[in-house]
Amino acid sequence: MKIRLYNARVLTMVPGQEIFEGEVWIRDNKIIYADKSSRVQEFFNENGREMIIFDKEIDCEGNLIMPGFKDAHTHSAMTLMRSRADDLPLGDWLNNQIFPVEAKMTGEDIYTLTKLAILEYLTSGITAIFDMYLTPVTVAKACEDSGMRCVQVSAVNNFSQSPELVEEWFNTLNEPGALTSYMIGCHAQYTCSEELLKKLSSLTHKYKVPFFTHISETKSEHEECISITGKTPLAYLDSLGLFDFGGGGYHLVYADENDIELMAKKNLFAVTNPGSNTKLASGIAPVSDFLKAGVKVAIGTDGPASNNCLDMFREMFLVTGLAKLRDSDASSVDALEVLKMATVNGAYAMGLNDCDAIAPGKKADIIMIDLMQPNMQPINNICKNLVYSGSKSNVKMTMINGEIRYMDGKFYIGQDISEIYEESEKIKQRIDKELA
């Protein structure tokens, strides 16, 4: 499939490159041209090519083409619990409301509920997700069937999954060329015994791969680890060799100065989740401190039970807005840096180094932003407008791997969305009866 996107403003996210008026060409799943229209003939001359006959040509009508957002931390199938257990402290929410529901969920349920989340990701311009949930095989199938790029990380803990299963999934869910892949991780330090963590460390060393987990999401979690081990959660996990090949953590609300120094030294990623941390009153992550130390920051929505929506625009605003409040500094965490977190840094955290920008040879994970709406007018600074006034309503098109999956309010995922809604409702009603 050869697609031409023309008459567009193009934000490549290539360092040093400004937005320009031009076009982007896609062949199969990769970008082959991203430049001004005036350079088309020069492109053909330089590459010894003849004119291309496109299968589809889309007039972007002056709207913005840019790399898709990367949701660097989520639990997709928690769509089931959206608005089911709100306005509760994290411990009560998790132990008394979430875990009992999850105990009733089947792999087939998770397949359907992941698809429901995918619909929302597409409307938010999210082209890749870093997912952590209970049944990786059915999550992978839901994403492959729907055309969503997904990197999974293990959710193993003392109560579910096992190091043996993690290794099996690592070896079977990392097929070359697939839309989905799998990383080694765990739910959190406080839900894993030291014996389990040591086994996971052995796996990271065996395969020389990064490790990701929830870290210091709450003050109680952070302080309890110190009281038991004498170390912060990050330092404790590092002492077991879990970060010897990189990786990072989700939340890191209570990361201290030594943690941040360690993250910089180990080149670890900090994945911030401001929507979830705000709603659960967990706190505000020290994002500006991460940036000052050279720690790369990515952004995740967290799951739709704790957020409750999968909206990268809201997350971007909260990242910079909360940082300004925390630092009492309106200049803290510039919007341009936040846009980089939501695209480039998220791609790198997930190991998707060919999905970070719009440039020849990169994967065609592209979104179109509708600039012809009131919240985008007049056009002063498009990048800052995306962060400070952009919304899901501005997402006109979401393309993943060269395939248009959402455009002008319509989904192209191989299934009627009404079926997904109906199946999700049936799952909810069944589990409600089982819990009654």
296-310: per-residue pLDDT in tens? Answer: 999 999 999 999 999
Same domain, 6 and 108: no
- Taken in order 309, 374, 331, 358, is the CA torsion positive or negative? positive
Please tell me the distance from the alpha carbon of residue 263 to that of residue 243, in angstroms, as a whole number.
9
Q: Is residue 428 part of a domain?
A: no
Please tell me the distance from the alpha carbon of residue 56 to that of residue 36, in angstroms, as a whole number.
19
Whether residue 45 has pLDDT greater than 80: no
Same domain, 88 and 61: no
Q: Name the band, by pLDDT with cuts 50, 70 and 90, for residue 341.
A: very high
Q: Is residue 417 part of a domain?
A: no
Q: CATH number of the domain that 28 lies in?
A: 2.30.40.10
Same domain, 227 and 318: yes
Provide the pLDDT for residue 41: 82
Provide the pLDDT for residue 96: 87
Q: Is residue 108 part of a domain?
A: yes
Q: Name the band, by pLDDT with cuts 50, 70 and 90, for residue 42.
A: confident
How many independent structural domains does the chain possess? 2
Whether residue 89 has pLDDT greater than 90: no
Whether residue 338 has pLDDT greater than 80: yes
Same domain, 30 and 156: no
The pLDDT tens digits of the residues spanning 371-420 come to 999 999 999 999 999 999 999 999 999 999 999 999 999 999 999 999 99
Same domain, 310 and 233: yes
Q: Which residue has the higher pLDDT, 88 or 207?
A: 207
Q: CATH number of the domain that 90 lies in?
A: 3.20.20.140
Same domain, 57 and 76: no
Per-residue pLDDT, averaged over 45-65, amounts to 88
Q: Which residues pair with 130 in a beta bridge?
A: 151
Q: What percent of the chain has pLDDT over 70?
A: 99
Whether residue 117 has pLDDT greater than 80: yes
Same domain, 326 and 265: yes
Same domain, 327 and 405: no
Q: Is residue 416 part of a domain?
A: no
Q: Is residue 431 part of a domain?
A: no
Provide the pLDDT for residue 232: 98
Same domain, 320 and 251: yes
Same domain, 34 and 181: no
Whether residue 48 has pLDDT greater than 90: no
Provide the pLDDT for residue 74: 98
Same domain, 202 and 224: yes
Same domain, 36 and 182: no
Whether residue 280 has pLDDT greater than 70: yes
Q: Is residue 433 part of a domain?
A: no
Domain of residue 10, residue span: 2-67+362-411
